[in-house]
């Protein structure tokens, strides 16, 4: 009953937070666009339309029935490419975040549970590794790895983004694990003979879940931005795969003539990053235990 009451209060705090609601709406709109946009598109994303996709001057065509948002510099349907790019961004953001959060949570719990035991050297080793990882600017680290890998695939980008961003999660989870370990009911659980795996599943993970969920939302925003930066610098997915970052790069040469080629993917990137960040802040405020005091 007490836990149900906490969830109810957290939900009420969330829906009363305008920023959180705006963030949720933005994320949902992005998801709907990614799911329904490609089926509703009137033209394939990677096919050039030399009949209806250019005007009398040989320039990209403006919005029309055939191309609702016009075409790009290669006369490809802009709406279709934006929608397909949304799928790519959400796919990378989702699975790269799962990798990052999963690795960080696992290593953070291992590190926290090993403090004060005969395996305390594991904690020292992991925390020094975290210190080294956090000493590098995230985007610079991602760009360096992307440049070293050369030709990339979606799987490669998932691994690069996910395995280069778990350091902050590990430190947060370690700190939370140390807090939970010191609580009286954990000591009582040990005295009653509960095993370490049981304590982890029943007591540690539920207490860690809240902060991790908040961190995951902010991490998704960082993943979308990092993938866009990689693609803009031509270190991401190779063409003709639609990517918002590459669309920015390709459209900048024609910005003065057709600014929508830059504005459209740019606004979607801003919308995605803003949505996930507002959602994360809303979740943080809703799940903050200080609010229950």
CA–CA separation, 103 vs 288, rounded Å? 24
Residue 255 in tokens: 């910005």
Q: Which DSSP letter does residue 67 get?
A: S
CA–CA separation, 60 vs 259, rounded Å? 11
**CA neighbor of 108 nearest in space, from 184, 160, 166, 158:** 166
pLDDT of 291 reads 45
CA–CA separation, 199 vs 188, rounded Å? 11
Q: Which DSSP letter does residue 238 get?
A: P
62 Cβ partners below 8 Å, 6+ apart?
55, 70
CA–CA separation, 286 vs 293, rounded Å? 13
Residue 23 C-beta-side C-alpha neighbours within 13 Å: 24
Contact predicate 272/290, CB 8 Å: no
Torsion of CA 135, 136, 138, 139, to 10 degrees: 160
Residue 31 in tokens: 């998801």
Contact predicate 126/107, CB 8 Å: yes
| pTM score | 0.87
pLDDT of 288 reads 66
Contact predicate 76/46, CB 8 Å: yes
Contact predicate 107/170, CB 8 Å: yes
pLDDT of 4 reads 52
Q: How do the residues of the chain divide into helix, strand and coil, expressed in percent and rounded to 5?
A: 75, 0, 25
pLDDT of 230 reads 87
pLDDT mean for each 10 residues of the chain (293 residues) = 59 86 95 94 91 87 90 94 94 93 92 81 90 83 73 81 90 88 74 73 79 90 91 84 92 90 95 94 76 43
Structural domains in the chain, CATH included, are 2-292 (1.10.3720.10)
Residue 160 in tokens: 């690069």
Say whether 66 sits in a helix, a strand or coil: coil
């Amino acid at each position: 009953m007490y836990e149900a009451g906490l969830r109810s209060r957290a939900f009420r705090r969330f829906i009363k937070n305008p920023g959180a609601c705006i963030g949720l709406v933005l994320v949902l709109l992005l998801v709907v666009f990614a799911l329904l946009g490609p089926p509703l598109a009137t033209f394939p994303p990677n096919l050039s339309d030399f009949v209806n996709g250019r005007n009398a001057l040989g320039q990209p065509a403006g919005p029309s029935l055939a191309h609702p948002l016009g075409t790009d510099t290669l006369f490809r349907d802009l709406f279709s490419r934006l929608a397909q790019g949304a799928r790519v961004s959400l796919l990378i953001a989702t699975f790269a975040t799962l990798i990052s959060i999963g690795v960080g949570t696992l290593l953070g719990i291992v590190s926290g549970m090993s403090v004060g035991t005969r395996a305390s050297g594991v904690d020292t080793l992991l925390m020094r590794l975290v210190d080294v990882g956090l000493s590098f600017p995230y985007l610079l680290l991602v760009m360096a790895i992307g440049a070293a890998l050369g030709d990339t695939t979606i799987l490669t980008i998932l691994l690069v983004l996910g395995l280069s961003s778990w350091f902050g999660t590990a430190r947060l989870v370690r700190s939370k694990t140390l807090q939970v370990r010191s609580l009286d009911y954990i000591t009582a659980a040990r005295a009653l003979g509960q095993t370490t795996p049981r304590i982890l599943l029943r007591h540690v993970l539920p207490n860690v879940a809240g902060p991790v969920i908040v961190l995951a939302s902010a991490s998704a925003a960082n993943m979308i931005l990092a993938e866009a930066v990689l693609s803009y610098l031509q270190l991401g997915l190779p063409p003709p795969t639609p990517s918002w970052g590459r669309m920015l790069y390709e459209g900048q040469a024609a910005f003065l003539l057709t600014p929508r080629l830059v504005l459209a993917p740019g606004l979607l990137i801003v919308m995605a990053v803003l949505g996930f960040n507002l959602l994360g802040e809303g979740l943080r405020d809703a799940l903050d235990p200080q609010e229950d005091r």
